[in-house]
Chains A and B, each alone.
Chain A
Amino acid sequence: DAGVIQSPRHEVTEMGQEVTLRCKPISGHDYLFWYRQTMMRGLELLIYFNNNVPIDDSGMPEDRFSAKMPNASFSTLKIQPSEPRDSAVYFCASSLPPGEQYFGPGTRLTVT
């Protein structure tokens, strides 16, 4: 298996632009998680899905953030409009219940 796939690996954008991050989970995994990692705040859980349904989005920082999972093999995290404070590494992870989570390589987002 190729593991969790994320794209793009790096994204540089200007403040105010829309940013879309993509994730393909491991085939057969029921759960999908989006995290954000910064030096200041560490690893933060933003939202997670079970069987394509959002279960808990309490970690999403603002209404500018949204996430979708239209099918079992694809999820997006969108930021609109982006701000410099959104600069971080965004990770996607997937798992089978109740097992360990497998992380993707991350997307490094820089908003100037």
Chain B
Amino acid sequence: AQSVAQPEDQVNVAEGNPLTVKCTYSVSGNPYLFWYVQYPNRGLQFLLKYITGDNLVKGSYGFEAEFNKSQTSFHLKKPSALVSDSALYFCAVRDFSGNTPLVFGKGTRLSVIA
């Protein structure tokens, strides 16, 4: 079975500081990992994905994520947070070899304070 854990319901960071939103996963085979962002009253928006290759994946709006196989983690990062980054962030996983839907985490609310 596939599962995703986002251990923090809320992350607060000052504008200009680096941010990290944590995600750990569990799949039986190789993982296919995603990050999505949801702004108020909007649908989920794709940020970035990891399939294979470089462990550091770059995505939209300056975000990046680091795949760590030994720790089964895929943390989302940004070197310098903006107030406009405040939103709900979802990590998602699926087994690369299957055709099952993505399994989403519960989401982490990021608040960037000016």
Taking Cβ atoms with an 8 Å cutoff, the residues of A that contact B are 4, 31, 33, 42-43, 45, 48, 50, 56, 91, 93, 97-98, 100-106, 108
Contacts and interface: CB of A to CB of B under 8 A. Distances in A.
Given A42-B107, A43-B104, A106-B43, A100 B34 contact: yes
A102 B46 contact: yes
Given A4-B43, A33-B101, 10 more contacts: A50-B99, A56-B101, A91-B44, A93-B43, A98-B32, A98-B98, A102-B46, A103-B45, A105-B43, A106-B43
Nearest to B104: A43
B107 A43 contact: yes
Q: For chain B, give the interface size range.
A: 20 to 34
Contacts, number: 42
Nearest to A97: B99
Interface of B: 32, 34, 36, 41-46, 49, 90, 94, 96, 98-99, 101-102, 104, 106-107
Contact of A100 (B42, B46, B96): B46
A103 B43 contact: yes
Contacts of A50: 99
Contacts of A31: 101
Contacts of B101: 31, 33, 45, 48, 56, 101
